[in-house]
Amino acid sequence: MANNDIVMLEGGPLIDPAALENALGWALKPEGLCKDDTCVIVHDRAALMSGDRVDVTAVASLIDRPAAHDATSDLVAIGAPRDLRRAAINDMRAPDFTLPDLDGLPMNFSDHRSKKRLLVAFSSW
Partner 1 sequence: MIAVAVDEDVETIRGAADGITYPILIDADHVVTELYAISNVPTVLMIDEDDNIVQPNWSAYASDTFRELTGINSETQMDHIRAWAKVGTLRMSPEDAKGAVHDLSSEEEQARLFFRIATRLRNDGDAEGAERNFVTAIDLAPHDWTVQRAAQPLRGINPFGDAFMELYTAFNEAGRPFHGVTGH
46 versus 92: smaller Cβ distance to partner 1: 92
| 108 alpha-carbon distance from chain centroid | 17
43 versus 125: smaller Cβ distance to partner 1: 125
Determine if 11 is a binding residue for partner 1 (CB under 8 A). Answer: no
For residues 37 and 33, give the distance between their C-alpha atoms in angstroms, rounded to a whole number.
11
Torsion angle defined by CA atoms of residues 47, 48, 50 and 55, in that order, rounded to the nearest 10 degrees: 140
For residues 45 and 54, give the distance between their C-alpha atoms in angstroms, rounded to a whole number.
9
Interface with partner 1 in residues 40-99 (CB under 8 A): 66-68, 70, 72-73, 75, 77-80, 82, 84-86, 88-90, 92-95, 97, 99
Q: Which of 2, 4, 50, 51 binds partner 1 (CB under 8 A)?
A: 4
For residues 109 and 23, give the distance between their C-alpha atoms in angstroms, rounded to a whole number.
24
- Name the residues that contact partner 1, by CB under 8 A: 4, 6, 8, 66-68, 70, 72-73, 75, 77-80, 82, 84-86, 88-90, 92-95, 97, 99-102, 107, 109-110, 112-125
